[in-house]
């Protein structure tokens, strides 16, 4: 597909995917793109940055923004940063997709609803994980009750993991975009660099393998990214906050770190379609996740640096 002359009815715009932590926002984005762009795990607050995912079709270009989960209960500089990233997104988009986890609302959902009531853009409610709702008769009353709290342009029950009703959701999103040529080249799928994606894949493997022990105390910094004809050589530092966390990541005789590296390398080879040589080190930066200065040095708090992770 090559778009050279945009039809008069072509639509483009920015779409925020908003919701509390762990409702499936990143899984939804990945399914829409058909590409594993946004890292996922079962742990809340896996997503830390605003992440653009661009989908271009012959009729529209939707620029999706996957955001950190909006929350109130988590404290500290890192969580203030993530909340700010998500809230700032609401001012910059044309359409908002509000994702909830089935028919179960929490105080965190109420917080998101309070924020969305101040927005003027069309809001589409995506009720995710409907495949896990045992009593489907409760779905319609839930939709009616939630509609009293927010004026939704559309309501779509979906399953992001199975792909149910995602095409219907995309149709509603497209119809809500403005008439406009595409903002990005059709082959571009994100605004993030390959270095950033590499760091996120490493962090994903840590979250999946060690999320119970190290939910938020890990950051990854790619020090070197050298691409050659047949191989990419990557060196990265895994930052933790305490010496005992370093021991957990390294594991007995280095086996845990070896497994993290193996899984990350295989995912990178699938992403880059090249052989990857990956070297990992684990270092301690005391209390980095609650230190604005440390966060900034690691690429947080400054969007101009975040892509250099």
Per-residue pLDDT tens digits for 163-181: 999 999 999 999 999 999 9
Specify whether 221 is located in the same domain as 252: yes
pLDDT, position 54: 95
C-beta neighbour count of 249 within 10 angstroms: 21
Q: Which residue has the higher pLDDT, 40 or 261?
A: 261
* Residue 5 covered by a domain: no
Q: Measure the CA–CA gap between 227 and 181, rounded to whole angstroms.
A: 33
274 shares its domain with 232? yes
Integer Cα distance of 173 and 157 in angstroms:
14
Which residue segment(s) compose the domain that 299 sits in?
194-306
Instruction: Provide the β-strand partners of residue 6.
Output: none
Last-in-domain residue among 117, 146, 179: 179
Within a domain: residue 187? no
DSSP 8-state secondary structure symbol assigned to residue 61:
E
Q: Which pLDDT value is given to residue 306?
A: 38
What are the pLDDT digits (tens) for 68-110? Answer: 655 455 555 555 655 566 677 788 899 999 999 999 899 889 9
Q: Is residue 129 predicted with pLDDT exceeding 60? A: yes
The pLDDT assigned to 167 comes to 97
**269 and 160 in a common domain:** no
Any domain includes 1:
no
- CATH number assigned to the domain comprising residue 237: 3.30.300.20
pLDDT value of residue 120: 93
Residue 70, pLDDT score: 59
Where is pLDDT greater, at 113 or 215? 113
Percentage of the chain exceeding pLDDT 90: 53
Compare 279 and 85 and report the one with higher pLDDT: 279
Q: Are 116 and 123 in contact (CB under 8 A)?
A: yes
- What own/partner pairs with CB < 8 Å and gap ≥ 24 does 101-107 have? 101/19, 101/20, 101/22, 101/23, 101/24, 101/128, 101/129, 102/127, 102/128, 102/129, 102/130, 102/132, 102/133, 103/127, 103/133, 103/138, 103/139, 103/142, 105/146, 106/20, 107/72, 107/73
DSSP 21: T
- pLDDT recorded at residue 136: 86
Same domain, 173 and 212: no
Is residue 4, in this structure, part of any structural domain at all? no
Q: The whole model's pTM is what?
A: 0.78
Residue written as tokens 């589409």? 124
Q: CA 80 → CA 230, 240, 301, 307, distances in Å?
A: 41, 19, 10, 19
Query: What pLDDT does 309 receive?
Result: 30
Summarize the confidence of residues 212-238 as an average pLDDT. 87
Among candidate residues 144, 179, 214, the one where a domain is terminated: 179
The predicted pLDDT at position 7 comes to: 85
Confidence check: pLDDT of 237 > 60? yes
* pLDDT, position 236: 95
How many domains does the chain fold into? Answer: 2
Q: Domain holding 49: CATH number?
A: 3.40.50.300
Query: Is the Cβ–Cβ distance between 241 and 266 less than 8 Å?
Result: no
φ/ψ of 137, rounded to 5, equals: -65, -15
User: Is 49 in contact with 85 (CB distance < 8 Å)?
Assistant: yes
Average pLDDT over residues 20-46: 79
Task: Decide if 60 contacts 54 (C-beta within 8 A).
Answer: no
Residues 202 and 233 occupy one common structural domain: yes
* Pairwise pLDDT comparison (110 vs 218), residue with the higher score: 110
Answer for the pair 190, 54: CB distance below 8 angstroms, yes or no. yes
Average per-residue pLDDT for the chain? 84
* Average pLDDT rounded to a whole number, residues 245-249: 92
H-only helix segments in the chain? 25-33, 77-89, 107-116, 139-147, 166-176, 194-210, 243-250, 255-272, 292-297, 303-306
> Quick check: 262 pLDDT over 90?
yes
Q: Hey, what are 35's tokens? A: 């590409």
Judge whether 86 and 5 are in contact, CB under 8 Å. Answer: no
In a domain, 188, yes or no: no
The pLDDT confidence band at residue 47, using thresholds 50, 70 and 90, is: low
Banded model confidence at residue 65, pLDDT cuts 50, 70, 90: confident
For the segment 6-23, the average pLDDT, to the nearest whole number, is 90
Tell me: do 26 and 95 sit in the same domain. Answer: yes
What pLDDT is attached to residue 259? 97
Question: What is the model's pLDDT at position 203?
Answer: 87
Give the pLDDT mean for 121-143. Answer: 93
Instruction: Check residue 104 and give its pLDDT.
Output: 87
Q: Are residues 30 and 140 in the same domain?
A: yes
The reported pLDDT for the residue numbered 305 is 38
């Amino acid at each position: 597909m090559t778009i050279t002359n945009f039809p008069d009815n072509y639509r483009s715009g920015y779409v925020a995917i908003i919701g509390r932590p762990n409702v499936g926002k990143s899984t939804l984005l990945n399914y829409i793109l058909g590409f594993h762009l946004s890292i996922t795990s079962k742990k809340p607050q896996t997503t830390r940055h605003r992440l653009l995912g661009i989908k271009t079709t012959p009729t529209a270009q939707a620029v999706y923004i996957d955001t950190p989960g909006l929350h109130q209960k988590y404290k500290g500089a890192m969580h203030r940063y993530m909340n700010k990233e998500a809230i700032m997104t609401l001012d910059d988009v044309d359409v908002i997709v509000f994702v909830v986890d089935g028919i179960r609302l929490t105080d965190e959902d109420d917080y998101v609803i309070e924020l969305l009531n101040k927005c003027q853009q069309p809001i589409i409610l995506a009720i995710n994980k409907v495949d896990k709702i045992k009593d489907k008769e409760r779905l319609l009353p839930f939709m009616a009750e939630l509609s009293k709290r927010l004026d939704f342009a559309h309501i779509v029950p979906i399953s992001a993991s199975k792909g149910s009703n995602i095409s219907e959701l995309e149709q509603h999103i497209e119809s809500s975009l403005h008439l406009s040529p595409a903002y990005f080249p059709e082959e571009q799928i994100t605004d993030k660099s390959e270095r950033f994606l590499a760091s996120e894949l490493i962090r994903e493997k840590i979250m999946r393998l060690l999320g119970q022990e190290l939910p938020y105390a890990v950051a990854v910094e790619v020090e070197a990214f050298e691409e050659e004809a047949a191989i990419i050589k990557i060196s990265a530092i895994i930052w933790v906050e305490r010496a005992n966390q370093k021991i957990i990541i390294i594991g007995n005789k280095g086996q845990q770190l070896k497994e993290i590296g193996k899984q990350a390398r295989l995912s990178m080879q699938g992403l880059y379609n090249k052989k990857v040589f990956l070297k990992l080190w684990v270092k301690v930066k005391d209390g980095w996740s609650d230190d604005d200065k440390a966060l900034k040095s690691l690429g947080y708090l400054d969007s101009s640096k975040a892509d250099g992770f």
